[in-house]
Structure 1
């Protein structure tokens, strides 16, 4: 493991400890699954800080962001569009996942989980996140994100009852 990979893994682990992470107290994940989830959480942390440089390090060049809107419309944005938008926004972002299904096979991982997204401290929407990740010499990186957007009828997050 190179220095960069160890640093990213350490930062992800520290984020879980300090921020509570998205892994619940009873950890059902093995080491590879936790590493993949760590990359997702690191991306959420970078997004919350509007940190374009950190986000760029976590996303493979050419990655796509696919959103399925409530009316069924599908929008696709390249990584460059996501990063540009992230840098322009100033609102407080907070995205959380829970009950993640994590599949790892060698250097490929998939994370599928319900999520909620808060904008300036208020629930904006919820849905399902699907992350495709690839492990390289630099660690896990996001190859693509697909997600649904649900504006109404969001069930309360189980994370809200965890204190």
Structure 2
């Protein structure tokens, strides 16, 4: 009986530990979207390693699959530019996977400029934990305007 209690306690402890790690990872992901909403390029840069890889995958007008390499510094500059509009990218369906110091996060998103819908897709992040700090080293997103199923509680 004591062994069963110990095993149960260890199971609950491990589950709590895993949820805590997921929360730490999602804190970094949410920080990216908060930085975008508030034009805070410093907060944005703090979420990433020095020179992360960024990409966008999409289908062009000719129906061809394209993988476009992003320019992280240009993204940081665009976020930090004072603007009258708010860039809002709500996310849902978060899927977090962690193994040691590597994490992967897959989220659905919709992108709005103020309350005006722009596009939707998926963001896929890879993070590394170095010295107890999670940082994004790879980000790829998809973008489309059609077939966007956005939950009502996400829409502005």
Instruction: Give the alignment of 1:94-133 within 5 angstroms.
Output: 94-133=88-127
2:143 to 137, 142, 149: 149
1:37 to 19, 26, 37: 26
Structure 2 length-normalised TM: 0.77
Structure 1 length-normalised TM: 0.74
Match of 2:154, SS state, is helix
Q: Deviations over 1:35-67 (max 9, x none)?
A: 111110011101111111111111111102211
In structure 2, C-alpha distance between the alignment counterparts of 1:35 and 1:109, rounded to whole Å: 10
5+ residue gaps, structure 1: 1-28
Distance 1:43 1:149, change over 3 A: same
Q: Which runs of 4+ in 1 moved over 4 A?
A: none
Structure whose alpha-carbon radius of gyration is higher: 2
| Paired positions, count | 134
5+ residue gaps, structure 2: 1-17
2:130 to 130, 136, 144: 136
